[in-house]
């Protein structure tokens, strides 16, 4: 699937057609998450079906109207399912709640505490800081709620990396910050109060960006202050009002009417106009694809169609009969009269030129003599 998506993500004008680039990024993150879990989640198939519908609808709308609907229902469904995959697994259950209500012993065998992860270096901290600042800018530039939600989900992986940043004052502060940020995403506050959420993310990124020049002791309290402010954003909010149902269900854009191919110079003019209207960009590619599908009469893709071989090209319309003109007799094109005399004179000079050479060419001389006899015969026939 990643190999199939790679050519799409490399299209030059992809960023000009939201939410298509964010949809492709979300699909890539979903694949990476499922591969990391090393298991097939029960809802993975529904997630990718929603992704296919969202990308297909965006492509159709770009080809038909030049831009996709940023609030399309298919894109909203994919964003919701992606949030269910990347979001937290739920509240942590305290182990004390699993004890029997007696004197114990409650812990029969002491478990081995997990090893602390390696501490992040200054270069990694600076890289995370720059990424957080760019992500905050991208959140504020989002043009729709779908685009904003997909970009929020893209930060979940970063928060997971920061939560295991290691020990020490800064490592502990990073873990608290990552937990607060994940809570804000899980409760939906990152979407309903995006400005404050992005501001706190940017502040944390600015602190981490100077890790190469400042000490952990100086950075940890500043990051703790950002975490406290972020926990205020993560506080539960009132449930947002439900989105109104669309008045009419979505219908795919109707294909353009097929036009009979023009004839002669009109065909060249029409082809040039269509090519200029389609253009070389992404929109032109989709328009060109729709035009070719309509011209060839292709239906839905299927294995039977693939095995049947390429479709037969439609036969071109017969050209209109040319206007009747006067028929020129072949005899009118032959030498006669003065023209025959002038041609004989020129042949005499050519014969003299061939004979004057050191080694006359017999084949050339024979052709010239035959033409002389033909001219004499034509002249005799005309005079008769």
Out of 199, 233, 267, a domain closes at 233
Distance separating alpha carbons of residues 58 and 23, to the nearest angstrom: 10
Distance separating alpha carbons of residues 349 and 320, to the nearest angstrom: 49
**Is residue 308 scored above 50 in pLDDT?**
yes
Distance separating alpha carbons of residues 290 and 199, to the nearest angstrom: 44
**Is residue 198 scored above 90 in pLDDT?**
yes
**Is residue 95 scored above 70 in pLDDT?**
yes
Out of 200, 233, 266, a domain closes at 233
Do 354 and 224 fall into the same domain?
no
Q: How many other C-beta atoms lie within 10 A of the C-beta of residue 280?
A: 11
Do 77 and 210 fall into the same domain?
yes
Task: Tell me if 84 is assigned to some domain.
Answer: yes
| Helix spans in the chain (H) | 2-9, 20-37, 44-65, 73-86, 122-141, 145-153, 156-163, 168-186, 189-192, 194-208, 216-233, 265-278, 282-296, 303-307, 338-355, 362-383
Interval 55-80: pLDDT, tens: 889 888 888 888 888 888 998 998 88
State residue 259's pLDDT score.
47
Give the residue, 298 or 53, on which the prediction is more confident.
53
- Please provide the DSSP assignment of 307-373 as one string: HT-SPPPPPPPPPPPPPP-PPPPGGGGS--THHHHHHHHHHHHHHHHHHTSSS--HHHHHHHHHHHH
> In the chain, pLDDT over 70 holds for what percent of residues?
68
Task: Tell me if 249 is assigned to some domain.
Answer: no
Mean pLDDT estimate for the chain: 76
**Is residue 334 scored above 80 in pLDDT?**
no
Task: Tell me if 317 is assigned to some domain.
Answer: no
Task: Tell me if 326 is assigned to some domain.
Answer: no
**Is residue 39 scored above 70 in pLDDT?**
no
Task: Tell me if 319 is assigned to some domain.
Answer: no
**Most confidently modeled range among 137-141, 278-282, 287-291, 361-365:** 137-141
Give the residue, 145 or 3, on which the prediction is more confident.
145
Task: Tell me if 95 is assigned to some domain.
Answer: no
Task: Tell me if 272 is assigned to some domain.
Answer: no
Out of 233, 255, 279, a domain closes at 233
Do 363 and 221 fall into the same domain?
no
Mean pLDDT on 340-358: 78
State residue 88's pLDDT score.
59
Interval 235-261: pLDDT, tens: 444 444 555 555 544 444 545 445 455
State residue 31's pLDDT score.
84
Total length of the chain: 384
Domain that holds residue 135: 2-89+119-233
State residue 289's pLDDT score.
78
Mean pLDDT on 339-362: 77
Each as own residue / partner, the long-range contacts of residues 288-297 (CB below 8 Å, 24 or more positions apart, any chain) are 289/63, 290/63, 290/64, 290/255, 290/256, 291/256, 293/255, 294/255, 294/256, 294/258, 295/258
Task: Tell me if 60 is assigned to some domain.
Answer: yes
Do 345 and 228 fall into the same domain?
no
Give the residue, 170 or 118, on which the prediction is more confident.
170
What is the number of domains present in the chain? 2
């Amino acid at each position: 699937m990643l190999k199939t998506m790679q050519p799409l993500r490399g299209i030059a004008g992809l960023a000009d057609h939201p939410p298509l680039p964010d949809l492709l990024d979300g699909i890539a993150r979903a694949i990476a998450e499922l591969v990391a879990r090393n298991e097939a989640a029960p809802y993975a198939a529904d997630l990718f079906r929603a992704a296919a519908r969202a990308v297909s609808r965006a492509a159709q709308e770009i080809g038909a109207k030049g831009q996709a609907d940023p609030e399309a229902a298919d894109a909203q469904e994919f964003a919701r399912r992606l949030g269910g995959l990347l979001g937290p697994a739920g509240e942590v259950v305290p182990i004390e709640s699993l004890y029997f209500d007696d004197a114990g012993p409650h812990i029969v065998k002491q478990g081995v505490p997990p090893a602390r992860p390696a501490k992040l270096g200054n270069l990694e901290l600076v890289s995370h800081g720059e990424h957080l600042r760019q992500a905050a800018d991208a959140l504020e530039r989002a043009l729709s709620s779908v685009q904003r939600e997909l970009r929020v989900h893209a930060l979940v992986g970063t928060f997971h990396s920061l939560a295991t940043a290691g020990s020490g004052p800064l490592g502990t502060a990073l873990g608290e910050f990552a937990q607060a940020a994940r809570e804000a995403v899980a409760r939906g506050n990152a979407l309903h109060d995006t400005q404050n959420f992005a501001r706190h993310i940017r502040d944390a990124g600015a602190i981490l960006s100077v890790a190469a020049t400042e000490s952990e002791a100086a950075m940890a309290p500043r990051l703790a202050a950002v975490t406290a402010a972020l926990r205020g954003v993560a506080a539960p909010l009132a449930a947002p009002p439900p989105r109104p149902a669309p008045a009419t269900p979505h219908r795919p854009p109707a294909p353009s009417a097929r036009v009979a191919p023009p004839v002669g110079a009109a065909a060249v003019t029409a082809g040039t106009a269509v090519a200029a209207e389609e253009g070389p960009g992404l929109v032109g590619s989709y328009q060109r694809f729709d035009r070719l599908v309509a011209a060839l009469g292709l239906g839905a893709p299927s294995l039977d169609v693939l095995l049947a071989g390429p479709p037969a090209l439609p036969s071109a319309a017969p050209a209109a009969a040319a206007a009747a003109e006067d028929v020129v007799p072949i005899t009118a094109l032959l030498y006669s009269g003065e023209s025959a005399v002038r041609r004989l004179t020129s042949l005499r000079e050519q014969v003299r030129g061939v004979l004057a050479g050191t080694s006359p060419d017999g084949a050339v001389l024979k052709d010239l003599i035959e033409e002389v006899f033909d001219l004499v015969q034509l002249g005799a026939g005309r005079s008769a």
